[in-house]
Amino acid sequence: LTFLGIESSCDDSAAAVVRDDRSILASVVAGQAALHADFGGVVPEIAARAHAEKLDLCVEEALAQAGLRLSDVDGIAVTAGPGLIGGVLSGVMLAKGLAAGSGLPLVGVNHLAGHALTPRLTDGIPFPYLMLLVSGGHCQFLRVEGPADFTRLGGTIDDAPGEAFDKVAKLLGLPQPGGPAVEAAARAGDPRRFALPRPLLDRPGCDLSFSGLKTAVLRQRDALVAAQGGLHEQDRADLCAGFQAAVAEVLAEKTRRALALAPAPVLAVAGGVAANESLRAALQRVAAEAGATFLAPPLRLCTDNAAMIAWAGIEAYQAGRRDGMELAARPRWPLDQGAAPMLGAGK
């Protein structure tokens, strides 16, 4: 079984060809970072236009790399949400056009299910497992029990951790994306110099919060600027180290609770923040303590890509899922509200 996957829910246009034996025949990702760089964030209108321009080229490129024609694949999987509606619509319309023209089956995929099922594509692990999704837009614990069977154990009540890394970088005058910049600066820093909060640690459950942590960094910065007229290199390093340690500690403790609440043989991560070395180390310790294996797929499959969408499409297809021309693009689509998109894109 070979599927074409299409992804356009945020700022990456992507297409991929994946087989049910877990081989990735092609995975093309066309990022838009340069287009949004001047605006300090993703601009929905610019993203939608770029997807409309680039998505069909990504599909052509992916098929060419795989050495296949559209008629050689067995189905088309497309991200149907959640995400920026203009981008999701671009992908859904393209997929519908391709499906209608070729007669191939169409499967609408939840973007988060794509992330959550990635460890099965990369490592072939069985259900169930615990997934921690930590990216620029999401942060949640999912117990994954089947291709359409997800239980959300908790998640952020405000910012996503990647968003917090990006904002902290910005307020310390470091470049975007903030995660790698903060991690690099933190290497020379003392994580104990500044007392930063550990949000929600005192409360039971697996929910997280990151916006207060970012505000605490802002206050420390302002205090330093007021006292000494600016930031020294060491101040920056210490603030980054303190912030990163707080994020890692909070995520590790909440992961410990998630594993206690829903024991699983594997703890897997996805999302760009999973690239962070100190976070990885902390999660690895927590997994070992709980007798679980820690699994972090390669970064190019942890961040947004279409191979995960093609794979999730294959899993859904094998479970009997088919979508027709009524497939709707959904800006919001919570994972644990069932797999099938409701008709009409409601908020």
Which residues are annotated binding-site positions for Fe cation? 111, 115, 304
What residues pair up with 31 in beta bridges, in sequence order? 12
Whole-angstrom distance, CA of residue 194 vs CA of residue 44: 37
Whole-angstrom distance, CA of residue 111 vs CA of residue 138: 11
- From the list Fe ion, ligand ATP, none, partner contacted by residue 178 (C-beta under 5 to 8 A by kind): ligand ATP
Whole-angstrom distance, CA of residue 216 vs CA of residue 214: 5
Helix (H, G, I), strand (E, B) or coil at 134: strand
Residue 5 makes contact with ligand ATP by CB under 6 A: no
- Closest CB 25 distance from ligand ATP, rounded Å: 23
Of 35 and 201, CB closest to Fe ion: 35
Whole-angstrom distance, CA of residue 113 vs CA of residue 117: 6
- From the list Fe ion, ligand ATP, none, partner contacted by residue 273 (C-beta under 5 to 8 A by kind): ligand ATP
Q: Which one of 75-83, 92-100, 256-264, 301-309 is the stretch in contact with Fe ion (CB under 5 A)?
A: 301-309
Whole-angstrom distance, CA of residue 247 vs CA of residue 242: 9
- From the list ligand ATP, Fe ion, none, partner contacted by residue 130 (C-beta under 5 to 8 A by kind): none
Residue 273 makes contact with ligand ATP by CB under 6 A: yes
Per CB under 6 A, contacts with ligand ATP among 51-110 are none
Residue 7 makes contact with Fe ion by CB under 5 A: no
Helix (H, G, I), strand (E, B) or coil at 187: coil
Name which position in 304, 308, 317, 341 contacts ligand ATP (CB under 6 A): 304
- From the list ligand ATP, Fe ion, none, partner contacted by residue 183 (C-beta under 5 to 8 A by kind): ligand ATP
Residue (of 62, 43, 117, 54) closest to 91 by Cα position: 54
Whole-angstrom distance, CA of residue 268 vs CA of residue 31: 25
Residue 10 makes contact with ligand ATP by CB under 6 A: yes
Pairing status of strand 75-81 against strand 2-7: parallel
Instruction: Using CB under 6 A, count the residues that bind ligand ATP.
Output: 21
- Structural contact between residues 273 and 150, judged by C-beta atoms closer than 8 angstroms: no
Of 166 and 304, CB closest to Fe ion: 304
- DSSP for residue 275: G
Per CB under 6 A, contacts with ligand ATP among 177-216 are 177-180, 183
- Closest CB 178 distance from Fe ion, rounded Å: 17
- Closest CB 183 distance from ligand ATP, rounded Å: 4
Q: List all residues 6 or more positions away from 179 whose beta carbon is below 8 Å from its beta carbon.
A: 162, 165, 166, 169, 272, 273, 275, 276
Of 2 and 27, CB closest to Fe ion: 27
Residue 304 makes contact with Fe ion by CB under 5 A: yes
Of 75 and 178, CB closest to ligand ATP: 178
Of 114 and 341, CB closest to ligand ATP: 114
DSSP E strands in the chain: the ranges are 2-7, 12-19, 24-31, 75-81, 106-110, 129-134, 139-146, 149-155, 266-270, 293-295
Residue 137 makes contact with ligand ATP by CB under 6 A: yes
Residue 163 makes contact with Fe ion by CB under 5 A: no
Footprint on this chain of ligand ATP (rule: CB under 6 A): 10, 135-138, 162-163, 165-166, 177-180, 183, 271-273, 275-276, 303-304
Footprint on this chain of Fe ion (rule: CB under 5 A): 304
